[in-house]
Amino acid sequence: MPIIEAIKIAEAQAEEYRREAMEQVRLLMDETKALTESTVAKMMEAAVDEEKQIQLTVQKAIEAKRLEIFARVDAEDDKLIDSAKKKEKQTVDFILGKVIEL
């Protein structure tokens, strides 16, 4: 076999190897892309779930604090009302005394 023919055959084989390698690279890239997209989708789903859980926790904390504040305010209101009721007679007597003085 002449050398030129052997070179042509070797070049043809090299081209075939190159095509096969390129196809394998393309398949690996497609596989990697699909795996990456799947992983990213799962991570996003997990992040969304975590965000929802955090929001629920924050909402519960806010509601608990709101109830605590209202309970404190109600207790303070009750103290003021009791104090006012206890001093009601004194207040009325004082006001009537002032009116009578006039």
What's the mean pLDDT when you consider all of the chain?
93
Helices then strands, each counted (H, E), the chain: 2, 0
CA distance 22 to 99: 107
pLDDT digits (tens, 9 = 90+) for 57-90: 999 999 999 999 999 999 999 999 999 888 888 8
Locate the domains of the chain by residue range: 3-101
The torsion of the CA quartet 60, 62, 67, 71, rounded to 10 degrees, works out to 140
pTM more than 0.85: no
